[in-house]
A and B are shown apart, each in its own frame.
Chain A
Amino acid sequence: MKRRRPFLLFTLLAFGYAFLYVPIISLIVYSFNVSRLVTVWGGFSTRWYGELLHNDQILSAAWLSLRIATMNATLSVILGTLAAITLVRFGKFRGRTLFSTMVSAPLVMPDVILGLASLLLFVTMEHLIGWPAGRGITTITLAHITFSAAFVTVVVQSRLSQFDISLEEAAMDLGARPWKVFLLITLPIIAPSLLAGWLLAFTLSLDDLVIASFVAGPGATTLPMVVYSSVRLGVSPQINALATLIVATVTLCILLAGWLMHRQETLRRRAPVIDIS
């Protein structure tokens, strides 16, 4: 259908993108500013990056956050994939409504509620069974998994439901066992969504301030907690440098993932025969 391009629509679209990107771009620009005053341009410099790399507090918090995010992402992908398979493949079973409610509620549940609820759970559990002893990296990871897995489920669910089930049936007709069908057919096809889910869970965990603040003990300080306390004291050029590094990493990862998926798609189109031996 040919239609003329409505001017207003594209003006709004441009405005929307400007709104989304101006703050991020301003952060990047001022991260290269000589002046400590974030809003006065004093000349180009990479001074704040140097200081950032020598800020032990930020570095150790970043290291802790990366470890938590990796563990969280890996376990969330396993849990989220199982939940997605349950929702897409298993049809009706007893307790399905409760299950799908529990899967979708963490997507929207306010962080303060999730944080408080998780903390009270951990305190009660420690009181009753002695685990998890104290609070720190374990409790942060456990609390993160619960809400990240919900996001993984959404991502994997959408890929699974577009999946052509006749591929599995064909493999089964040719004598492959269900487990082998899963490993050789299902898993490779949903693999991009597992990767996307892993990355999403990773960033969600890396980004979380509120839940981590509730469930972290005095010993565990994650990156967002350090950023938050420094931001409360005022604008700091080091945080701008950190933000720029994060934006650059995320952009690179998304471009790489997009390119990989694109390549896989073209490869599959070129070679439609799947070897299941």
Chain B
Amino acid sequence: MTTRATINGSARNAGEWLGDLLTGHHGRRLVIALPYLWLLVFFMLPFVIVLKISLAEVLLGRPPYSPLWQYLEDSTVQIQLHLDNYRRLWEDPLYFIAYLKSLKIAGISTLVCLLLGYPMAYAIARTRDSLRNLLLMLVILPFWTSFLIRVYAWIGILKSNGLLNNLLLALGVIDHPLALLHTDFAVYLGIVYSYLPFMVLPLYATLSRMDLTLLEAAADLGCRPWKAFLRVTLPLSLPGIIAGCMLVFIPAVGEFVIPDLLGGPDSLMIGKVLWTEFFSNRDWPAASAVAVVMLVLLVVPLALFQRAQEKSEGKPPL
């Protein structure tokens, strides 16, 4: 009995000692260090490596790229930076068109998401409590079901003998099937559909937190409802608008699955170009250069998103 009590006691002491270690001054450091180091190694470092390999030359072998530096015999280091990958990006119009097209498709889709998502978020935020949670859950639910499968669903709808064409034919709106699948239209539709919840959720978060007495005050001072909306509600929801737009725009620029499954040969987006460089051409350095330029294009949107996240400190928009 005594031994057991002692063992229990010492185990408990050890537990408390460990607990105090974790919550004390050193513990604080440990709590910060673990995710910090993880992100440095698995998130930050990879970008440095991407930059490095984008300056290498493609080789046949494992790994399929040339080393950046080599130690020569007379204790010198030879550094070879190949800028060919970037020159190709600049000279071959295919890449330029793909970048431009990605920015255009992502930009227009973001705008459509905002125009559809804002009224939805507004309506959800202003309904009565009991209904609100249900409506919110219905927005979140598709976001939880497989993205790939939701994109796949559109193939069945948009095919030339698909649901939409059959419906329109039956209604007599058209007399021969429309080519909907493998067009830019399908890509826009797919992106708006997939990313709509990402727009609605942050908008809902800012709109539901808004102080409604501000609108009452505006009305008391003789402001018409639509004017109150433009001058009070809209500016107050700006952080949500920025967060929502960036949550849609940034991933949409690099989207691969949607243009690949729904897009046609001319809906060439940069994510698909990167995928082809990597998987079909096995050109890792070229894929890296494509990624580096994409990141550079996304720096401003990323900074905007980061600022929106920081501002909503503690009240994240998602």
- Interfacial residues, chain A to chain B (CB-CB below 8 A): 1, 3, 8-10, 12-13, 15-17, 19-24, 26-27, 30, 37-40, 79-80, 82-83, 85-86, 88, 90, 93, 95, 99-113, 116-118, 120-121, 123-124, 127, 142-143, 145-146, 149, 151, 153-155, 157-158, 160-161, 177-180, 182-183, 199-200, 203, 206-207, 209-210, 213-214, 224, 227-228, 231-232, 235, 239, 242-243, 246-247, 250-251, 254, 258
Contacts and interface: CB of A to CB of B under 8 A. Distances in A.
Nearest to A153: B35
A243 B215 CA distance: 44
Contacts of B298: 110
Interface stretch (B75-83, B86-94, B133-141): B133-141
B305 A104 contact: yes
B119 to A, nearest CB: 4
A39 B159 contact: yes
Interface residues of B, number: 101
Given A12-B123, A108-B246, A158-B314, A38 B156 contact: yes
Contacts of B16: 177, 179
A235 B19 contact: no
Given A82-B31, A108-B250, A243 B146 contact: yes
Nearest to A210: B256
Nearest to A96: B32
Contacts of A93: 32
Nearest to B147: A207
Given A79-B38, A101-B306, A112-B291, A23 B251 contact: no
A64 to B, nearest CB: 16
B306 A116 contact: no
Contacts of A251: 141
Contacts of A113: 50, 254, 274, 291, 294-295
Contacts of B140: 254
Classify the interface of chain B: helix, strand, loop or mixed: helix
A31 to B, nearest CB: 11
B95 interface: no
Nearest to B155: A235
Contacts of B291: 112-113, 116-117
A179 B22 CA distance: 7
Interface string B197-209: 1001000000000
A254 B144 contact: yes
A108 B261 contact: no
Contacts of A228: 148, 257
Interface in B15-42: 16, 18-20, 22-24, 28, 31-32, 34-36, 38-42
Contacts, number: 266
Contacts of A40: 161
B39 A99 contact: yes
30 contacts: A12-B123, A16-B196, A17-B138, A19-B116, A19-B193, A20-B139, A24-B142, A26-B153, A39-B156, A39-B159, A39-B161, A85-B31, A86-B32, A88-B314, A99-B36, A100-B306, A102-B40, A109-B254, A112-B291, A113-B295, A116-B291, A120-B46, A123-B63, A146-B42, A151-B318, A161-B314, A180-B19, A207-B148, A243-B149, A258-B137
A160 B16 CA distance: 24
B38 A24 contact: no
A205 B284 CA distance: 25
Contacts of B47: 117
Contacts of B309: 100, 104
A227 B24 CA distance: 49
B111 interface: no
Contact of A154 (B38, B139, B316): B316
Nearest to A118: B46
Nearest to B44: A102
A122 to B, nearest CB: 9
A246 B146 contact: yes
A86 B138 CA distance: 32
Given A110-B250, A110-B254, A243-B149, A82 B35 contact: yes
Contacts of B275: 112, 210
A131 B19 CA distance: 32
Contact of B215 (A1, A124, A146): A1
A187 B137 CA distance: 25
A120 B288 contact: yes
Contacts of B99: none
Contacts of B137: 254, 258
A15 B119 CA distance: 11
B104 interface: no
Nearest to B146: A207
Given A13-B119, A100-B306, A178-B19, A146 B38 contact: yes
B162 interface: yes
